[in-house]
Amino acid sequence: MKMTDLFTKTSKTVPGDETARNAQLLIQAGFIHKEMAGVYAYLPLGLRVLENIKTIVREEMDAIGGQEVMMTALQPRELWEKTNRWDDAVVDNWFKTKLKNGTELGVGLSHEEPLVNALGGYVNSYKDLPVLVYQIQTKFRNELRAQAGLLRGREFIMKDMYSFARTQAEHEELYERVAAAYSRVYDRLGIGDVTYRTAADGGYFTTRFSDEYQTLSDIGEDTIYVDEAKKLAINKEVYTDENLQKLGLNKADLVEKRSVEVGNIFPLETKYTDALDVYYVDEAGERHSIIMGCYGIGVSRLVGMLAEHFSDERGLVWPENVAPFRVYLATIGVSDAVVKQAEELHSLLTEKNVSVLYDNRDVRAGEKFADADLMGMPHRIVISDKTVAAGVYEYKHRMSTESQQLSQGDVMKLLGV
Amino acid sequence: MKMTDLFTKTSKTVPGDETARNAQLLIQAGFIHKEMAGVYAYLPLGLRVLENIKTIVREEMDAIGGQEVMMTALQPRELWEKTNRWDDAVVDNWFKTKLKNGTELGVGLSHEEPLVNALGGYVNSYKDLPVLVYQIQTKFRNELRAQAGLLRGREFIMKDMYSFARTQAEHEELYERVAAAYSRVYDRLGIGDVTYRTAADGGYFTTRFSDEYQTLSDIGEDTIYVDEAKKLAINKEVYTDENLQKLGLNKADLVEKRSVEVGNIFPLETKYTDALDVYYVDEAGERHSIIMGCYGIGVSRLVGMLAEHFSDERGLVWPENVAPFRVYLATIGVSDAVVKQAEELHSLLTEKNVSVLYDNRDVRAGEKFADADLMGMPHRIVISDKTVAAGVYEYKHRMSTESQQLSQGDVMKLLGV
Task: Compute the 3-state secondary structure of chain A and give helix, strand, coil in percent, each to the nearest 5.
Answer: 35, 30, 35
Q: What's the pLDDT score for residue B208?
A: 85
- Residues B159 and B150: their CA atoms lie apart, in Å, by 15
- Residues A99 and B35: their CA atoms lie apart, in Å, by 14
* Identity of the residue numbered B381: I
Q: CB of B190 within 8 Å of any CB in chain A? A: no
pLDDT beyond 80 at B41: yes
Between CA A80 and CA A84, with CA A81 as vertex, the angle to 5 degrees is 90
Neighbour-count burial of B229, counting CB atoms closer than 10 A to its CB (0-12 exposed, 13-18 middle, 19+ buried): exposed
pLDDT beyond 90 at A13: yes
Q: CB of A15 within 8 Å of any CB in chain B? A: no
Handedness of CA A314, A320, A326, A330 (dihedral sign): positive
How many residues in chain B? 417
Overall average pLDDT of the A73-83 stretch: 98
Overall average pLDDT of the A232-245 stretch: 95
The 3-class SS string of chain B reads: CEHHHCCCCCCCCCCCCCCCHHHHHHHHCCCEEEEECCEEEECHHHHHHHHHHHHHHHHHHHHCCCEECECCCEEEHHHHHCCCCCCCCCCCCCEEEECCCCCEEEECCCCHHHHHHHHHCCCCEHHHCCEEEEEEEEEECCCCCCCCHHHCCCEEEEEEEEEEECCHHHHHHHHHHHHHHHHHHHHHCCCHHHEEEEEECCCCCCCCCEEEEEEECCCCCEEEEEECCCCEEEEHHHCCHHHHHHHCCCHHHEEEEEEEEEEEEEEEECHHHHHCCCEEECCCCCEEECEEEEEEEEHHHHHHHHHHHCEECCEECCCCCCCCCCEEEEECCCCHHHHHHHHHHHHHHHHCCCCEEEECCCCCHHHHHHHHHHHCCCEEEEECHHHHHHCCEEEEECCCCCCEEECHHHHHHHHCC
Contacts of B121 in chain A (CB under 8 A): 33
Q: How many CB atoms neighbour CB A17 within 10 A? A: 10
* Nearest of A50, A144, A139, A56 to residue A92 by alpha carbon: A144
Overall average pLDDT of the A280-286 stretch: 98
**What CATH class is the domain B3-312?**
alpha beta
- What are the pLDDT digits (tens) for B218-265? 999 999 999 999 999 999 999 999 999 999 999 999 999 999 999 999
Q: What's the pLDDT score for residue A207?
A: 74
Contacts of B73 in chain A (CB under 8 A): 73, 107, 138, 140, 155
Q: What's the pLDDT score for residue B26?
A: 98
Between CA B298 and CA B307, with CA B302 as vertex, the angle to 5 degrees is 160
- Residues A368 and A377: their CA atoms lie apart, in Å, by 13
Q: What's the pLDDT score for residue A202?
A: 84
Neighbour-count burial of B386, counting CB atoms closer than 10 A to its CB (0-12 exposed, 13-18 middle, 19+ buried): middle
Q: What's the pLDDT score for residue B147?
A: 86
Q: How far is A286 from chain B (nearest CA, A)?
A: 21
**What CATH class is the domain A327-414?**
alpha beta
* Identity of the residue numbered A263: G
Query: Is there a contact between B161 and B96 (Cβ–Cβ < 8 Å)?
Result: no
Query: Is there a contact between B315 and B25 (Cβ–Cβ < 8 Å)?
Result: yes
Backbone angles phi, psi at A317, to 5 degrees: -140, 75
Q: Is pTM, for the whole model, over 0.90?
A: yes
Neighbour-count burial of A241, counting CB atoms closer than 10 A to its CB (0-12 exposed, 13-18 middle, 19+ buried): exposed
Contact B70 A42 (CB under 8 A): yes
The residues facing A158 across adjacent strands are A137, A298
Give Cβ neighbours of residue B335 (< 8 Å, ≥ 6 apart): B385, B388
ipTM computed for the complex = 0.96
* Identity of the residue numbered A350: T
- What are the pLDDT digits (tens) for B62-116? 999 999 999 999 999 999 999 999 999 999 999 999 999 999 999 999 999 999 9
Confidence class of residue A158 from pLDDT cuts 50, 70 and 90? very high
Q: How many CB atoms neighbour CB B201 within 10 A? A: 15
Q: CB of B319 within 8 Å of any CB in chain A? A: no
How are beta strands B155-165 and B291-298 bridged, if at all? antiparallel
- Residues A307 and B98: their CA atoms lie apart, in Å, by 30
- What are the pLDDT digits (tens) for B7-31? 999 999 999 999 999 999 999 999 9
Give domain limits for chain B.
3-312, 327-415
The CA–CA distances, whole Å, from B177 to A7, A257, B63 equal 19, 55, 10
pLDDT beyond 80 at A34: yes
- What are the pLDDT digits (tens) for A378-416? 999 999 999 999 999 999 999 999 999 999 999 999 999
How does A77-106 read in b/e, with b if 16+ C-beta sit within 10 Å? Answer: eebbeebebbeeeebeebbebebeeeeebb
Q: CB of A328 within 8 Å of any CB in chain B? A: no
Out of B41, B131, B140, closest to residue A7 by CB: B131
Q: What's the pLDDT score for residue A123?
A: 97
> Same topology for domains A3-312 and A327-414, yes or no?
no
Please tell me the number of Cα atoms within 13 Å of A91 on its side-chain side: 20
The 3-class SS string of A336-385 reads: HHHHHHHHHHHHHHHHCCCCEEEECCCCCHHHHHHHHHHHCCCEEEEECH
Contact A72 B7 (CB under 8 A): no
Contact B7 A128 (CB under 8 A): yes
- What are the pLDDT digits (tens) for A181-203? 999 999 999 999 999 999 999 87
The residues facing B269 across adjacent strands are B292
Per-residue DSSP letter, A87? S
> Which residues of A, range 214-273, sit inside 8 Å of B by Cβ?
none
How are beta strands A232-235 and A195-200 bridged, if at all? parallel
Mutation pick from A122, A147, A290 vs chain B, by most beta carbons of B within 10 Å, is: A122
The CA–CA distances, whole Å, from B84 to B80, B113, B203 equal 6, 11, 15
Query: Is there a contact between A26 and A150 (Cβ–Cβ < 8 Å)?
Result: yes
Out of B33, B118, B154, closest to residue A118 by CB: B33
**What percent of chain A has a predicted confidence (pLDDT) above 90?**
97
Query: Is there a contact between B281 and B287 (Cβ–Cβ < 8 Å)?
Result: yes
- Residues A108 and A97: their CA atoms lie apart, in Å, by 11
Helix (H) or strand (E) holding A178: helix A168-188
Cα-to-chain-centroid distance, residue A378? 19
* Nearest of B303, B291, B307, B266 to residue B110 by alpha carbon: B266
Contacts of B9 in chain A (CB under 8 A): 122
pLDDT beyond 70 at B179: yes
Task: Round the average pLDDT of chain B to a whole number and report it.
Answer: 96
Confidence class of residue A96 from pLDDT cuts 50, 70 and 90? very high
> What is the architecture of the domain spanning B327-415?
3-Layer(aba) Sandwich (3.40)
- What are the pLDDT digits (tens) for A204-236? 667 789 999 999 999 999 999 999 999 999 999
Overall average pLDDT of the B153-163 stretch: 98
Overall average pLDDT of the B313-322 stretch: 97
Q: CB of A114 within 8 Å of any CB in chain B? A: yes
Q: What's the pLDDT score for residue A205?
A: 66
> Which residues of A, range 53-112, sit inside 8 Å of B by Cβ?
65, 67-76, 95-100, 105, 107
Look at A72 and A207; give whichever has higher pLDDT.
Answer: A72
pLDDT beyond 70 at B205: no
